[in-house]
């Protein structure tokens, strides 16, 4: 078998037992990698109704067949577990260098189960795996944790994935961080590590990935890398301005969510745009493993000689969504959130919920005591509450529960802008209705990454679609995006390659590496299988499609008040039945047996 | 008199963030004028997948290059871009 080692390490933290398991090509061809492997194991091994923060939940660190190869952006890994934020599946992807190192150490996947009695970390040196005491790094922030563990390990090329204080304190949107600022960010997976007393995984791998035809693979890699380098976005806009180049674009198009999605136009967007960041703070760009794009930012601001980010999403979550106009504070807050180990989108979304609750009078100053008021635009909120959340101090303890639970505590559920209890990202779907359908049907809740419909609806790739068209064409495009994204994730590549590559390019890379002769349609079928399997897990976990495949009322009932999308809502009610039908699902959003059979999923019933 | 806004690399090429333009009826005429003014580099930057908005609406969903420009209109021009 090429592209895989066929090796899984099962690490039980309750018993300390470490065992090696094998898998064969049948499993590889069925699931491809990362998300595919992950959902297969979750469906087989855990009760979907399990408490996500209990020892019975499992957490999987997975790679894809192209992870650790020379394929462009082939350094990704994914963490799959049951989310303490949504109660459904979490699958969070990260770049940097950890994923490739894990693969080069000889592992396709780690399955971590149980709960350690005391804080521990897992140390991996090629095939050698040990569980070690982590009491000396428990309580430490991400940057310090990485530094100490790498020193102790005695090899500066070792890579660390760890949690900060937020994960330890079971913040429901805690992230897993690697290389300082790269996050497997969403769904609160850092809290799952925390609940297992697992502080970090450190890995050093000196092996390689066997390929079917190395010569051929290298020539395909060259061709695809050139394609990316010559692409005006992947080879131009992204390295030059980073993802924050979107700030002005999305704002000018009138869907830049402002003050908790009250509007889609932010009056200060220009001052926190990618252009402004590049002019004022940028030192250089920074690529992940084997990446010819290099969208990462290294910035200098205030006392921070060097920090990375913020990305478009984080800039928005800590800026426009709170009405804050202070780019330096946004960059500093982003740095702090990374170091404490949290998801920037959910942190910002939760603070925005608090601001609106305060604005409408449901959250009162007396609830906060001497702490800063949650007034729109109050930068003090960033400086004060972020640390309080990570340590669950004072009002931070309530914020640490996330926007949904916070809004519920104060009787203002309609002010939570999220789906399936997860905070929405930086696009108001009243200006891109297909993207709204994507939010409503995403297996991990409020999220933009698993089907980036902004690409066709706003940016014009692979074709330009009218953002207010809700025909079957649009719904089919969303389904294709969901399935293709699952394939790219499972392969171990970065989604930003889609700005320069299409389905056939991924097929070429995979076939050359693996020695397979699958068609693009075959790969899309794997994507469809992954999507349906994740949905099946959610349904078994108790998902109620009628109530939860939905959007906040504001987006379906309150017309956009201003800007180019003035008067528009998301016509979700019209699109959703079409989506179910085109997916081959029942009208109530469940999956019929025949469909499960067609996708070879009936064994998981 | 329409207001034309430039973004990303177009700011470096034009040396401006925005300017007012008179005497053009539609996007085609505007683009001709701008290409004459800023030359090949400007044209090249927009060759592939550029985005042109009139009052925040993409011209592809209005009348493409024939989209009319009225007094007070805001035209935003972006080179190809992506992110997420
Ligand atoms: S495009 Fe950006 S996020 Fe993706 S692998 Fe490259 S540097 Fe990392």
User: CATH code at B49?
Assistant: 3.10.20.30
According to the model, what pLDDT value does residue A8 have? 98
B56 is in which domain, residue-wise?
Answer: 14-78
| Other beta carbons within 10 Å of A244 | 26
The arrangement of strands across the sheet holding A89-94 comes to: A18-22, A7-12, A109-113, A59-63, A77-82, A89-94
- Taking alpha carbons only, the member of A77, A248, A87 closest to residue B79 is A248
Contact B7 A246 (CB under 8 A): no
Q: Which residues pair with A19 in a beta bridge?
A: A10
How far apart (Å, rounded) are the C-alpha atoms in residues A67 and A76? 6
| Ligand 1 pocket, CB under 6 A | A 73, 95, 287-288, 291, 293-296, 494, 496
Residue A428 token pair: 């108001």
CA of A520 to the centre of ligand 1 (A): 24
Angle at A599 between CA A596 and CA A604, to 5 degrees: 55
The pLDDT of residue A236: 87
Residues of B in contact with A249 (CB under 8 A): 7, 51, 78, 81
Whether this prediction's pTM lies above 0.80 is answered by yes
Query: Can you give the pLDDT at residue A591?
Result: 98
Residues 6+ apart with CB under 8 A from A97: A75, A159, A178, A179, A288, A289
Taking each helix axis from N to C end, the angle separating A472-491 and A503-514, rounded to the nearest 10 degrees, works out to 30
Q: Using DSSP, state whether A141 is helix, strand or coil.
A: coil
pLDDT one-digit tens code per residue, B27-65: 999 999 999 999 999 999 888 778 999 999 999 999 999
Which helix (H) or strand (E) is A548 found in, with range?
helix A545-548
CA-wise closest residue to A110 among A20, A204, A17? A20
Residue B4 counted as domain residue: no
- CB of A102 closer than 8 Å to CB of A124: yes
Residues of A in contact with B8 (CB under 8 A): 237, 240-241, 245, 248, 274-275
Query: What integer is the mean pLDDT of A577-594?
Result: 98
Residue B20 lies in a domain: yes
User: Which residues of chain B does A238 touch, with a Cβ-Cβ cutoff of 8 Å?
Assistant: 82-83
Span A498-525, pLDDT tens digits: 999 999 999 999 999 999 999 999 999 9
Centre of ligand 1 from the C-alpha of residue A137, in Å? 29
Domains of chain A: 7-204 (3.60.9.10), 244-422 (1.10.569.10), 427-499+517-604 (1.10.599.10)
In a mutagenesis test of the B interface, which of A459, A498, A561 is the best target, namely the one with the most B β-carbons within 10 Å?
Answer: A459
Q: Domain tally for chain B?
A: 1
CB contact under 8 A, B78 and A248: yes
Q: Is the pLDDT of residue A303 over 90?
A: no
A338 Cβ neighbours under 8 A, 6+ residues apart: A142, A177, A180, A181, A183, A308, A309, A344
CA A292 to centroid of ligand 1, rounded, Å: 8
Of B11, B60, B80, the CB nearest to A232: B80
Taking the centre of ligand 1 as the mean of its atom positions, its distance from the CA of residue B28, in whole angstroms, is 36
- Residue A225 pLDDT: 97
pLDDT of residue A600: 98
The protein residue with its alpha carbon nearest to ligand 1, atom 4, reads A494
**Residue B21 counted as domain residue:** yes
Among B58, B5, B42, CA closest to A459: B58
**Record: contact B51-A237, CB cut-off 8 A:** no
B40 falls within a domain? yes
Q: Does A448 touch chain B (CB under 8 A)?
A: yes
Within 8 A of A458 by CB-CB distance, chain B residues are 58
Residues 6+ apart with CB under 8 A from A226: none
Q: Is A295 on the interface with B (CB under 8 A)?
A: yes
**By the 8 A CB rule, do A292 and A228 touch?**
yes
Q: What is the mean pLDDT of chain A?
A: 97
Query: Could you tell me if A38 and A69 are in contact, meaning their C-beta atoms sit under 8 angstroms apart?
Result: no
- pLDDT for res A38: 98
pLDDT digits (tens, 9 = 90+) for A450-491: 999 999 999 998 999 999 999 999 999 999 999 999 999 999
Take residue A214 and report the two structure tokens written for it.
């190395």
- Per the structure block, which two tokens stand in for B10? 């177009």
Tokens 């979550």 label which residue?
A317
């Amino acid at each position: 078998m090429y592209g895989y080692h066929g090796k899984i390490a099962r690490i039980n933290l309750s018993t300390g037992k470490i065992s090696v398991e094998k898998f064969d090509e049948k499993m590889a061809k069925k699931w491809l990698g990362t998300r595919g492997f992950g959902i297969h194991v979750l469906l087989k091994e855990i009760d979907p109704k399990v408490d996500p923060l209990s020892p019975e939940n499992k957490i999987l660190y997975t790679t894809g067949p192209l992870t650790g190869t020379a394929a462009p952006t082939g350094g990704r890994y994914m963490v799959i577990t049951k989310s303490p934020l949504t109660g459904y599946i979490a699958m969070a992807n990260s770049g940097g260098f950890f994923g490739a190192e894990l693969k080069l150490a000889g592992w396709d996947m780690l399955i971590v189960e149980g709960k350690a009695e005391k804080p521990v970390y897992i140390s991996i040196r090629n095939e050698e795996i040990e569980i070690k005491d982590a009491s000396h790094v428990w309580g430490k922030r991400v940057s310090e944790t990485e530094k100490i563990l790498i020193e102790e390990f005695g090899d500066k090329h070792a890579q660390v994935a760890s949690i900060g204080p937020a994960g330890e304190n079971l913040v429901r949107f805690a992230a897993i961080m690697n290389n300082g600022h790269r996050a497997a960010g969403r769904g609160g997976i850092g809290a799952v590590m925390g609940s297992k007393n697992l502080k970090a995984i450190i890995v050093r791998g000196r092996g390689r990935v066997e390929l079917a035809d190395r010569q051929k693979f290298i020539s395909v890699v060259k061709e695809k890398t050139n394609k990316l380098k010559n692409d005006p976005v992947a080879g131009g806009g992204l390295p030059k301005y980073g993802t924050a180049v979107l700030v002005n674009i999305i704002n000018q198009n009138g869907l830049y969510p402002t003050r908790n999605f009250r509007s889609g136009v932010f009056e200060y967007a220009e001052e926190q745009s990618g252009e402004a960041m590049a002019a004022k703070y940028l030192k250089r760009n920074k690529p992940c493993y084997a990446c010819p794009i290099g969208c990462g930012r290294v910035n200098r601001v205030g006392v921070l000689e060097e920090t990375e980010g913020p990305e478009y999403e984080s800039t928005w979550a800590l800026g426009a969504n709170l009405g804050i106009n202070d780019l330096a504070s946004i960059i500093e807050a982003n740095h702090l959130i990374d170091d404490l180990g949290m998801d920037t989108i959910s942190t910002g979304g939760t603070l925005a919920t608090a601001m609106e609750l305060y604005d409408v009078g449901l959250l009162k100053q007396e609830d906060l005591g001497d702490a800063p008021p949650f007034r729109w635009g109050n930068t003090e909120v960033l400086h004060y509450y972020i640390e309080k959340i990570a340590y669950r101090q004072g009002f931070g303890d309530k914020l640490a529960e996330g926007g949904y639970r916070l809004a519920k505590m104060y009787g203002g559920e309609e002010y939570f802008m999220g789906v399936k209890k997860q905070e929405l990202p930086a696009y108001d779907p009243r200006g891109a209705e297909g993207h709204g359908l994507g939010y409503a049907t995403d297996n991990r809740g409020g999220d933009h990454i698993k089907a980036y419909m902004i690409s066709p609806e706003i940016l014009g790739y692979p074709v330009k679609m009218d953002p207010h068209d809700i025909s079957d064409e649009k719904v089919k495009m969303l389904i294709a995006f969901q399935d293709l994204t699952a394939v790219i994730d499972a392969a171990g590549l970065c989604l930003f390659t889609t700005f320069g590559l299409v389905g056939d390019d991924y097929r070429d890379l995979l076939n050359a590496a693996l020695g397979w002769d699958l068609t693009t349609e075959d790969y899309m079928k794997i994507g469809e299988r992954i999507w349906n399997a994740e949905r099946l897990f959610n349904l078994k976990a108790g998902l109620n499609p009628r109530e939860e495949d939905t959007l906040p009322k504001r987006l379906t009932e309150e017309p956009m008040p201003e800007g180019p999308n003035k008067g528009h809502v998301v016509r979700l009610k019209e699109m959703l039945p079409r989506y179910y039908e085109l997916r081959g699902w029942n009208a109530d959003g469940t999956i019929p047996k025949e469909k499960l059979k067609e996708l070879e999923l009936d064994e998981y019933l | 008199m329409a207001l034309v806004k430039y973004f990303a690399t177009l700011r470096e090429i034009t040396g401006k963030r925005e300017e007012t333009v008179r005497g053009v009826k539609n996007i085609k005429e505007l683009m001709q004028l701008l290409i004459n003014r800023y030359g090949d580099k400007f044209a090249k930057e927009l060759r592939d997948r550029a985005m042109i908005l009139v009052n925040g609406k993409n011209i592809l969903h209005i009348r493409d290059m024939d989209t009319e420009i009225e007094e007070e209109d805001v035209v935003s021009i972006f080179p190809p871009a992506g992110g997420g």
